[in-house]
Amino acid sequence: MKNFERVQPRSWDEAASALAAALKSGKSAEAKGAGTELLDRLKEYNLAPDQVVDLRRLSSHNSILRNSSGGISIGALVTLSAVASGLRKDLPALADACEGAATPQIRNAATLAGNLCQRPRCWYFRSSEFQCLKKGGVECLAKSGENEFHAVFGNNTCAIVHPSAAGVALVALNARIETLAPGGGRTFAAADFFVRPEVDIFAENALKPGELVVDIHVDRLEGVRSAYRKIKQKQAFDWPLADAAVVWRETGGVARDVRIVIGSAAPVPWRAKAAEALVEGKRIDAALAAKAGEAALEGATPLGKNAYKLPMVAAVVRRTLLASAGLPDGTEEHR
């Protein structure tokens, strides 16, 4: 790891100014939440910033607030464990996504913003020995190489899978992500926060250099059902092979405003629009959930070594739909 200067700001404004000042003076600088992902990259020589701006101990944007209209705001520094325990009743899809991520030790430290902004786990990207497209090289090495854990949708340019489980749930919940930067902050729909490699090969989100995530907002969800499920090779200390979040509004016994988002399958949390259209306006049962699972595969472009993921995507969409409707999804005994 290269030596770096640790900057300990006293406020979010000071943190944003420190990042802007470093970038303006030609230094490289990175924000740090709990550092569970950032420090890995520093140690692996994937990144060698001159400064690390430590947000972890800031005394605001670190709690979950409910506003008078029933909306929920989650501060950037809220840990994955706190999201899981604090929002189980309100937002089960997000609580389950956070509860199952990584390990208990990581979840107790990792921040929600850090989870959303973590970089991909593609082994060619992480290794200092490879110079792939995402690092300024000429080709995606995974497409012709070892791609068993890579994307089966939207993989034409770069075949990473977006690593954030919380992002899958937040896109399904149509959440908003608020940022802070010296020139003023912005608010993104979660779906617009994550960007495809065709938009920016060097980034996975729309943040400008030095811009910080400060809050995540979810509007009041009257009569809304939600669920998140995943399939993993190992039950602990592992990444999903496929995961999904489902959100819909129960109206007259049928599902309305259906949003089905697949994770671990594309460079961004991936809306399964054909499956959404199939379920819209219907009562969810086992037969419909199975058909929706198959419909979720529309547009899939598996690579040489990852076609095995397709039945997993279909299964995880089916199970998540069933869980969202309160029906047995077959994973109960493992939970």
Binding residues for ligand SF4, per CB under 6 A? 120, 122, 124-125, 132-134, 140-142, 150, 158-160
The answer to the question of residue 133 lying near ligand FAD (CB under 6 A) is: no
Least separation in angstroms between residue 119's CB and ligand SF4 is 9
CB of 9 or CB of 33, closer to ligand FAD = 33
Choose among ligand FAD, ligand SF4, none what residue 289 binds, the Cβ cut-off being 5 to 8 Å by kind. Answer: none
Q: Are 309 and 297 in contact (CB under 8 A)?
A: no
Our CB check for ligand SF4 shows the closer of 8 and 127 to be 127
Here the tokens at position 334 are 């493992």
How many helices and strands (H and E) does the chain possess?
Answer: 13, 12
Query: Hey, what are 262's tokens?
Result: 């697949």
- Please give the residues from 250 up to 289 whose contact with ligand FAD meets the rule CB under 6 A: none
Strands (E), the chain: 5-7, 29-32, 51-54, 64-66, 72-75, 176-180, 187-189, 212-218, 224-232, 240-251, 254-263, 270-271
32 binds ligand FAD (CB under 6 A): yes
Q: Cβ 129 to ligand SF4, closest distance in Å?
A: 12
Longest dimension (CA), the chain: 61
Contact pattern for ligand FAD over residues 70 through 109, marking x by CB under 6 A = ------x------------------------xx---x---
> Which of the stretches 3-11, 25-33, 133-141, 295-303 binds ligand FAD when contact is defined by CB under 6 A?
25-33
Would you count residue 213 as binding ligand FAD (CB under 6 A)?
A: yes
* Cβ 190 vs Cβ 175: under 8 Å: yes
Rule CB under 6 A: is residue 9 a binding residue for ligand FAD?
Answer: no
Is the separation of the CB atoms in 324 and 247 below 8 Å? yes
Distance in angstroms (rounded) separating the CA atoms of residues 180 and 210: 9
Question: What does 64-79 look like in DSSP terms, one character per residue?
Answer: EEE-TTS-EEEETT-B
CB of 200 to ligand SF4, least distance (A): 12
Query: Rule CB under 6 A: which residues touch ligand FAD?
Result: 30-38, 55, 76, 101-102, 106, 110-111, 113-115, 117-119, 163-166, 207, 212-213, 237, 239-240
